[in-house]
Structure 1
Amino acid sequence: MTELQHILETYVEKGTVPGAVGLVARGERVEVAAAGSRDIAATTPMTRESIVRIASISKPVTAAAVMTLVDDGRIALDDAIGTWLPELASPMVVRTPSAPVYDVVPAARPITVGDLLTSRAGYGFPSEFSLPAVTPLFSELHQAPPRPQLVPAPDEWLARLSRIPLLHQPGEAWLYNTCSDLQGILVSRVSGRTLPEFLAERLFEPLGMADTGFAVPADRLDRFTSLYQPRPEGGLQLVDAPDGQWSSPPAFPSGAGGLVSTVDDVYAFARMLLAEGTVGGRRLLSPESVRQMTTDWLTPAQRAASTLFLEGQGWGFGGSVDVEAIDPWNVPGRYGWVGGTGTAAYIVPSTGAVTILLSQVEMTSPTPPDLMRDFWRYGADA
């Protein structure tokens, strides 16, 4: 048994997860291990072909879609989003983050494409989830956790968002999640295609990501995992079965957390980024767009205010960027993100390293669980 296999088996045996798949690559050397099963009944083994809800690993994919439009010359980072999202052309901002939603002032400037990509548009989750301008993101927009069949279609979703004030002025603060959903709507409106159509044409088909999408076709449900959450008293309880929320296309394809995928599909996307946007001789992204995606855009003050999610990391486009070696697995320049369904995917452009972990138990907080940390520790040493 390899050390990677042992790590995964250990957490399966503890009952932390029913199953998990891990991939660690450096250059052309690739190690993949799978342990456990796709559900707690333990009737079907977890394999590298298992399909998993990747949650917020969707964010880098959506950001890459935006950057294809930048490369096409259809949009620019400094463009105001109101051209395509007129609902947000003249946003209001709460006077202070703790102010009630009716105590507002006009935004000092328009929200830009770059604000969305860096998650600094003024919408999203801070450390204090109970702030008056934050709670409607849960109650009206179903921002978390991902339940795709409950979310209204993009036009209605955006109309609801337009009635919620910004928590901060555009560009002032990093806030989590909402900007990635806005990126998905932006892609659709600029391209004139649905987000699933655009992603399939510009990223998934060229990369051979045949199992990645916003729903699982009926003929692949036998490879789809069940989703669980920890019970307060111990053990796991079912959140979503293979024939549940992801068995049919949602009205709102969430660019923030709606995708399902496999470890090899996620690896194909990672390899494209490491190859500076090229796959099989075909360029999907420019090297400059990849560089911008994987560069930290936050100020030290913005990083310091976002420790609940970032733990001192910076933020690129759609994913975090390690700015210093805080832990053994933090490598300056490491880019990627975690998903609230128990997933994580990172690349290190300077070394060509890739680490991908897919499991099927929801995280109970933004702090990565022990399984992820042990997996990253192994990946840093491999």
Structure 2
Amino acid sequence: MIGIMYRLVQRLRIALAWSLAQLKLGGAYLSYWASFLRRESYVQERWEGAQSLAGAKRVAVFVHYDRQGVVHDFVEHYLRQLHDLGFAIVFTSNAPRLAQSDTLRDLCALVIRRDNVGYDFGAYKEGIAAIPELAAVDTLLLANDSVYGPLYHLAGVLDRMDPQGADVWGASDSWEFSFHLQSYFLVFHRAALASPAFTAFWTKLRYVQSKTWVVRRYEVGLTRALRRAGLRCRAAFPYRQAASALIEAVVERNVAGDGLDPVRKTFIQQVFRTVNAGVPLNGTHFFWDYLISQMDFPFLKRDLLQKNPARIPLLNYWERVVRQSTDYDTDLILRHLELSLKNRSV
């Protein structure tokens, strides 16, 4: 009887999940059609920074969002590193307000504040459109503040993302829905920027107010469109490398043996079964500690610490992992968590 009830509950959960997914998808299509009624631009303010975009060879479009319009110090750290690496920064904020600051002026070439319509991809589109001479740019970086870091200096990361290895690089990839580069850190080299597929993608992109649409059609769709055009797209820290390391550790070294604490053992066994079945996971969540400590991955996803949607256990070790592996100032993360977390500690 218990077995029958368990199977019934599982079927109800699956049915509910499917229904919710269909509702989200229906809402996404409604948002797409509504986008034809939207304006051509949602820029509300813009001001020049100390740098110049004219003739810049390296340009970064950095997307920011904060409900209070605050540019937190972990973001300033990120911007300062990009500035020191020679990027002319187009700081594009989706915040409802944004105070003009000397720090932003000093670090950026252009600061844009726009309505949060179209999420990050809407902001990327308007940031790219603000570049006066895209044809003169050798390297375009699209980045956002959905991560803490860089935990390691980006100079080494960018050296790995050379144009001989690929035309488009992402920090990480995902196999959910279909293979794609995750959009929080994307590097486009000259071949990609000169491709008609790149221009067509951003020209056709609409300001759709649906995260489901943005992920499936724009984040996933960008990699698909560029690969169809013959462009090489690679991740510097591929999902398969971390997943393979887990399989090897369980099969060859028995890391999930009896000597492991029950919480960690159960988690590793669950992830092992999922990976072994070919079900893709979000590597930046499920393999966050391995990526940082063993692969020198330079980022820690904010939503992992703030929300932990997949209920990854033992996240309280994040500070120890970061401190033991990098020289990043973890107080930058702690200060933001203290301001942003409610009814949650990590």
Which category of TM-score, normalised to the shorter sequence, fits these structures?
under 0.3
Q: Which has the higher contact order (CA 8 A, sep 6+)?
A: 1
Relative to its length, the structure with more helix (as a share) is: 2
Give the alignment's TM-score, normalised by structure 1: 0.26
State the structure with more CA Rg: 2
Give the alignment's TM-score, normalised by structure 2: 0.28
